[in-house]
Amino acid sequence: MIRSILMATFVFGFIFTAEAQSKKLMYSCQLQDEWLQAKNLSAGINIEDLDHATITIKSESETVVCPMAVETVQDASRSRIARIIFSMTPAGCSPQEKLFHRNLRRRVELFVDAHPDAKGSAQLSWRHRGARSECKETVNNLKSHGIGNKFHPPAAASKNGSGTR
């Protein structure tokens, strides 16, 4: 009996911890990059807050985590475009013998489509000699932090039927 109560407590604790982690994240996405796929790797980026982010690269046998400092967050929304740009600088990766941060750009940029009708699309400029890669959104808590609210669609031109000539 006590064992089943402890086991249930452990399982529920794990679930609540996972939910708290996803609520704590500001933004998260999974990279869709041909270079990663060719090397049988997967990667994702997590932005914890306006100061810290990580890029995680996984293979079948190991995981490399590269912390990044968020330099700027720009709400580049205007007219019909609603976009947020995160500019980040990578630091050393762990484990340290995996010097993967040498493959990262000096300034990693994440372009998030903040349009209300967007289907979770983002692009990441992250790798030397690589174009922008698509990044599939998994967590988006940007609006709760006041980011991406700048977008205001243009008002429809109202026609006045009682005009004079």
Q: Return d(Cα 34, Cα 37) in angstroms, integer.
A: 5
pLDDT at residue number 114:
80
pLDDT at 65 exceeding the cut of 80: yes
129-147 pLDDT, tens digit each: 788 999 999 998 988 887 8
pLDDT at residue number 7:
46
pLDDT at 73 exceeding the cut of 80: yes
Mean pLDDT over all residues of the chain? 78
pLDDT at 118 exceeding the cut of 50: yes
**Contact between residue 56 and residue 63 where contact means Cβ atoms under 8 Å apart:** yes
Collect all residues with Cβ–Cβ distance below 8 Å to 112 and sequence separation of at least 6. 27, 83, 84, 85, 86, 122, 137, 140, 142, 148
More confident residue, 152 or 5: 152
pLDDT at 57 exceeding the cut of 70: yes
Please give the helix or strand (H or E) that residue 22 lies within, else none: helix 2-24
The two tokens of residue 101 are 């941060």
Nearest Cα neighbor of 148 from 105, 106, 118 is: 118
